[in-house]
Amino acid sequence: MRLKEYNAKRNFDVTTEPKGKIDKKRRKRFVIQFHRASHDHYDFRLEHEGVLVSWAVPKGLSENKKDKRLAIKVEDHPISYIDFKGVIPKGQYGAGTVEIFDKGTYLCLTSLKEGLKNGSFKVDLNGKKLVGRWAFVKMEGDNWLAIYEGKSAPKNPFNKVEVELATLSKQIPSGKDWLFEIKYDGYRIVSFIENNKVSFKTRNNVDYTLKLPSLKQDLIFLGKNKSMVLDGEVVMFDKNGKSDFSLLQEAIKFDESKLCYVVFDILALNGEDLRRVPLKQRKNILKEALKSATKNIIFSDFIVGKGKSCFNAVKKLELEGIVAKKLNSFYIGKRTEDWLKIKCYLRQEFVIGGFQTTEKNDKLSSLLLGYFKEGKLIYVGKTGTGFTETIKDELNKKFKTLLSKTCPFEKNSNLESATWLKPKLVCEVQFTELTNSNLLRQASFIALREDKDAKDVKLEV
């Protein structure tokens, strides 16, 4: 029992100190208590795995980088000790007065469990008095050194990143080595937060900062005294709580204040590159980092090892699908099978290579679609549904600058009355299947995808 030593040293009929009891809640709080005992000192305690991991620090934590303060590891204390103050009676262990010097939350950039085991860890404190990073290094026996590393968060280790992409799969992986999340319908956005400044980049490193001013302010609030790189999806939820890409595009044009940023990964924190930290650890770090976030910044929750039940629930709710991720995987920054996307229905991006009109639909009758394979645009069929009059007007406006006299497709599929376009525009399409002739069946236009590069569009089915 982790609190056996603590309980053995105290007579709870005499002292008002709390009895030792494991707390099952998992929080990240710290406390520093000033202890007037036989030798005045400070007690530094971190909440970890149901107890307070504790050190006696004779001179207290220093805010001078040149100082190396002795910190002596002592027995674990119960979580309830975090609020303890008062007098420990004479004759009792640690007799004297205990005062609370500082209290707050902390972040450990890597596993505190591993750090305690290996004798080295760094902790970011966010207290009322102390704010900054301290490194703890084990010496001999129970002696550690506490070294101050700085008050303001260091710069992010990078300002550009290749995002991790999921591979389409028809199979749902099984076992407890996988976590499962909802697949959201929005813009993939990486956010860089540093020194009260925020920038947003799409998966193709297009700057979206000016398009998302409200979310920018939310992240400035979140990033106070921190630097972070977050990966997630900017979405707009409909009245039923489902992400809706069409509503997202409207919101960005007219009122983006209700947009949400669903964050599913953290790539750096306070100057530390976390991409080579296992996903399970990154998730824990992310959840803690988002605790003070506004309601529009959402932690992407997940379940472990219950992929089929997760998929069935998502399908019942008529959502797009799920994403499966290996718990021990690193953030590679390319498309891998460590991340898998399983869709409830077929849906992907295609390049618009041309369009057709009719007497009845003189604005737009259908879009001619394709995908790139070995540098060539392969025709995959057309879609003639899913357009509103507003969308038709918007598309025609964009088409005017992309008109071409030549067919962009590798093979001209005897398309009549086609107006050809330079293959620059990307749209998202939902369809039932791909036929034996490699053509889309019952394809329906969803939205333009201006965040996607046409050259990156491959066939996923």
Give me the active site residues, please.
Answer: 183
Say how many CA atoms lie within 13 Å of 444 toward its Cβ.
Answer: 9
Please write down the HEC assignment for all residues of the chain.
CCCHHHHHCCCCCCCCCCCCCCCCCCCCEEEEEEEECCCCEEEEEEEECCEEEEEEECCCCCCCCCCEEEEEEEEEEEHHHHHCCEEECCCCCCCEEEEEEEEEEEEECCCHHHHHHHCEEEEEEEECCCEEEEEEEECCCCEEEEEEEECCCCCCCCCCCCCCEEEECCCCCCCCCEEEEECCCCEEEEEEEECCEEEEEECCCCECHHHCHHHHHHHHHHCCCCCEEEEEEEECECCCCCECHHHHHHHHHHCHHHCEEEEEEEEEECCEECCCCCHHHHHHHHHHHCCCCCCCEEECCCEECCHHHHHHHHHHCCCCEEEEEECCCCCCCCEEEEEEEEECCEEEEEEEEEEECCCCCCCCCEEEEEEEECCEEEEEEEECCCCCHHHHHHHHHHHCCCEECCCCECCCCCCCCEEEECCCCEEEEEECEECCCCCEECCEEEEECCCCCHHHCCCCC
